[in-house]
């Protein structure tokens, strides 16, 4: 009798799974979905930028005039962590580029935001300013320290793209930043 009861339990479980799978299949067929859409949605960073510029004890930098194919993807400002400003982008090649700024000591801050990159003996001139190159296993970076803060342009992108972002940085300009480069370019 125990063997018969075990067979009924397995049969009932298989029938239940078949009903659940059929129901899930029907839901999938009738719910609209478009796989051709870009899953990365640009973020509007204007409010965070204004907040950071009011609260930070250093000139907070954000890009101005980037082409429309640069997508802002993340933004944070953490006053409690050395007034840390973060603005992340995807460049036209789909590589990650981030602007990081903080009043934290560069010895601790730069390796943390660059995923353990180390300084090189090479500097690079961008917009008339000298930036130190850092190389790492995951991210490379351009680093500049001045006015009581450290600015890091880092990511998986090439040094050429990092320099393009560094050249576009403006600190506390009178112009309102464009939150999404494509919005500014399509107007």
The average pLDDT across 85-112 equals: 96
pLDDT given for residue 41 in this prediction:
81
Pairing of strands 84-90, 96-102: antiparallel
Rounded mean pLDDT, 171-186: 49
Q: Name the residue with tokens 């934290």.
A: 104
**pLDDT confidence tier of residue 129, bands split at 50, 70 and 90:** very high
Instruction: Compute and round to an integer the Cα radius of gyration of the chain.
Output: 24
pLDDT exceeds 70 at position 183: no
Write the CB contacts of 156 (distance below 8 Å, at least 6 apart in sequence). 95, 96, 138, 139
CB 139 within 8 A of CB 114: yes
Query: Taking 60 as the threshold, does the pLDDT of residue 178 lie above it?
Result: no
Query: Which of 23-37, 44-58, 173-187 has maximum average pLDDT?
Result: 44-58
Measured between its terminal Cα atoms, the distance across the chain in Å is: 77
What's the pLDDT band for 26 if we cut at 50, 70, 90? Answer: confident
E-assigned strand segments in 2-157: 61-63, 71-78, 84-90, 96-102, 118-126, 129-135, 140-146, 149-155
The mean per-residue pLDDT over the stretch 28-47 comes to 78
Which of the four pLDDT bands, split at 50, 70 and 90, describes residue 38?
Answer: low
User: Which tens digits make up the pLDDT trace of 133-159?
Assistant: 999 999 999 999 987 899 999 999 999
Average pLDDT of 17-42? 80
Q: If you average pLDDT over each of 37-41, 69-73, 169-173, which comes out highest?
A: 69-73
pTM to 2 decimal places = 0.74
Q: Give the lowest-confidence range in 78-82, 84-88, 119-123.
A: 78-82
Q: What's the pLDDT score for residue 31?
A: 80
**What is the pLDDT of the chain when averaged over all its residues?**
87
For residue 176, the model assigns a pLDDT of 44
pLDDT at 11: 85
């Amino acid at each position: 009798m125990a063997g018969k009861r075990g067979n009924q339990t397995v049969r009932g479980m298989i029938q239940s799974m078949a009903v659940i799978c059929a129901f899930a299949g029907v839901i999938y067929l009738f719910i609209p979905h478009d796989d051709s859409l870009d899953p990365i949605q640009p973020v509007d960073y204007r409010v965070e930028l204004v907040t950071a510029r009011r609260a930070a004890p250093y000139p907070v930098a954000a890009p101005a005039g980037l082409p429309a194919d640069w997508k802002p993807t993340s933004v944070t400002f953490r006053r409690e962590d050395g007034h840390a400003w973060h603005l992340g982008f995807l460049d036209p090649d789909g590589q990650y580029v981030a602007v990081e700024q903080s009043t934290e000591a560069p010895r601790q801050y730069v390796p943390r935001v660059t995923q353990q990159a180390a300084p090189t003996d090479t500097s690079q001139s961008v917009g008339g300013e000298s930036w130190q190159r850092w190389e790492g296993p995951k991210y490379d970076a351009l680093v500049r320290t001045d006015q009581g803060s450290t600015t890091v342009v880092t990511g998986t992108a090439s040094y050429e793209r990092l320099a393009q972002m560094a050249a576009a940085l403006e600190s506390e300009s009178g112009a309102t930043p464009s939150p999404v480069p494509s919005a500014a370019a399509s107007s």
